[in-house]
Structure 1
């Protein structure tokens, strides 16, 4: 049922997409970030690909994700990707310690999405740049194969390589039904085991993305599920945690529910509670993404505190300290919703295929 709904939305969204060239899809920017060695810089780089194989399949992909809209939808050759990478990386004079984060709107380790020659060239190049401490890329767990990952590590032996995977939640029912993710805890754990086996010879690490407040989830349960997932991630050997509060992406099933008044992004107060409880519960680094804060499509409280709390959370990310006490009158409204949202029935809306 969920897969059919997501597939229908995905087809409709792709049909509305404006065709863009690989050059138009590519971009890069630099900002402050937390490295394993402490605060530093990060270059965020989006490279064009055909797009996520899971989203392009009959599954329709994940209920909250529209990154396929930032894809070329046709194969992009190695030469073109290398050309774009060289142009983007040449913008930066990398002197201080820096992480380079490669985003492909899919899986860097899937050769059907990202050509092997391009992957090898990027790793070879970054291994020669002294200021680069970390190379970070994303993959679904089924593409984390020991042979492929070993080859990646061997091409950049002087750098920390981090494989980022969207586990989203430890609750398999939520992940399979509400998020339509398409893999099990066992699949994720197997990928983490492969990464950890390679640590004897390489500086390879894993990061988990945790989705905060999937569809059909109350505010109270969203908080508990996020913290519990961070604890689970540390227990099975993940090296770093990144919380991803929901933002409303266009052309998704999530957007449909939001437009019908059946979904609200998480309160920023909930994110403060998640990060503070996580600081108490796990010892691995944990960060809270602040994208979309204070907008109707992202996490929000009220106009009085949105900006202040965003700044406090960013500082918490960089310094790995709890978010300090902060008072605002909207906190009481959040507290009431957290305690009683499950009683309203609003998160259990029935969604009909013919509407």
Structure 2
């Protein structure tokens, strides 16, 4: 059954209404930074996260309505931000972390925007270059990580970025979400095909002989229209595909309910639930037993009403075990809880596709 057309129609309407409700704020207010323990290519280290305000994700602002689970556009100023202002914001946020002595030993700098860092309409080339020049002054910074849709990954852009940070790893993180085109296009509305992704990966892989460039993918655990069992299978298969195509590491993003999204509407109507934490644990076990590349499970939202949830007895315990396993890349020990039986039944018998498809039909 082709659900793409009703999905697109809903997303256009939802995005239009969500954009009208956004309380516009100046770019400086929307910026943020923090730090934490992380797994670098060289081993355990620290990561500094910096959020830069850009005009907003080009795909979300396009007529397509954007992705079915994402509301990051709500944290954008929805206006052009000059290179000068972006650079000043970066300097301020970066300096905050420097003053906290967060750059002391192996460190990664991860720069987030609401869309694509490599899109010059969001981050002008001048700002990209100046930001990298600042980072390059710190010897302890081993990795620089940016996010981008695959269409902005070009040989010229990657060469320019890598040249500005010689000796450091430059990693491009792309939201593949799923290796299955039908899931990515019809359920997530990502707007690019496996062929598009593989084109970007070829550019990255071809440059590895000249530069220290890497690729990471984000995989969405349980998009809309997806049952619990299918979500697990797709996450494992997508990771195996990512390794085969030359991706260097994977980051799983279990669904959390963002405001102003199709996912939220379905959740409120009882037609969607985020994945069980048990499912994320199962994915970790199967992935780390079958692939060699590092795989991180994001635990944001775990144990909350809008995020992955088991029960109050085991939510925190399993979350802590997953966080620990992310750093050392081990398989968490076996856990038991009375709610596990309910999860096992959900994996075996649930079919979210049927109820959600009917809802899309009746919209």
TM-score of the two chains, using structure 2 as the length reference: 0.96
> Is the aligned partner of 1:144 residue 2:149?
no
> Is the aligned partner of 1:196 residue 2:213?
no
Give the distance between the partners of 2:227 and 2:297, measured in 1 at CA: 19
> Is the aligned partner of 1:6 residue 2:15?
no
> Is the aligned partner of 1:64 residue 2:69?
yes
Q: Is the 8 A contact 1:10 1:251 kept in 2?
A: yes
Aligned partner of 2:45 among 35, 40, 57: 40
Q: How many residues align?
A: 354
Give the distance between the partners of 1:100 and 1:163, measured in 2 at CA: 12
Please name the residue that 1:18 is paired with: 23
TM-score of the two chains, using structure 1 as the length reference: 0.98
By how many angstroms is 1:127 displaced? 1.1
Please name the residue that 1:85 is paired with: 90
Give the distance between the partners of 2:352 and 2:252, measured in 1 at CA: 26
By how many angstroms is 1:344 displaced? 8.8
By how many angstroms is 1:51 displaced? 0.6
For residues 316-355 of structure 1, the aligned pairs below 5 Å read 316-342=325-351, 345-352=354-361, 355=363
Q: Is the 8 A contact 1:166 1:210 kept in 2?
A: yes
Q: Is the 8 A contact 1:127 1:158 kept in 2?
A: no
By how many angstroms is 1:196 displaced? 0.9
Give the distance between the partners of 2:235 and 2:282, measured in 1 at CA: 10
Q: Is the 8 A contact 2:226 2:352 kept in 1?
A: no
Displaced runs of 4 or more, over 6 A = none
Question: What SS class does the counterpart of residue 44 from structure 1 fall into?
Answer: strand
Please name the residue that 2:132 is paired with: 123
By how many angstroms is 1:180 displaced? 0.3
Give the distance between the partners of 1:5 and 1:150, measured in 2 at CA: 40
By how many angstroms is 1:95 displaced? 1.4
Q: Is the 8 A contact 2:252 2:297 kept in 1?
A: yes
Aligned partner of 1:288 among 283, 297, 302: 297
**Residues 4-57 of structure 1, C-alpha deviations (whole Å, 9 max, x = no match):** 211111111110111111111000000111101111110111001001000000
By how many angstroms is 1:350 displaced? 2.7
By how many angstroms is 1:323 displaced? 1.3
By how many angstroms is 1:346 displaced? 3.4
Give the distance between the partners of 2:221 and 2:60, measured in 1 at CA: 20
- What residue ranges of structure 2 are gaps of 5+ in the alignment? none
Please name the residue that 1:236 is paired with: 245
By how many angstroms is 1:133 displaced? 0.7
By how many angstroms is 1:207 displaced? 0.1
Question: What SS class does the counterpart of residue 351 from structure 2 fall into?
Answer: helix
By how many angstroms is 1:201 displaced? 1.3
Question: What SS class does the counterpart of residue 360 from structure 2 fall into?
Answer: coil
- What residue ranges of structure 1 are gaps of 5+ in the alignment? none
Give the distance between the partners of 2:299 and 2:281, measured in 1 at CA: 11
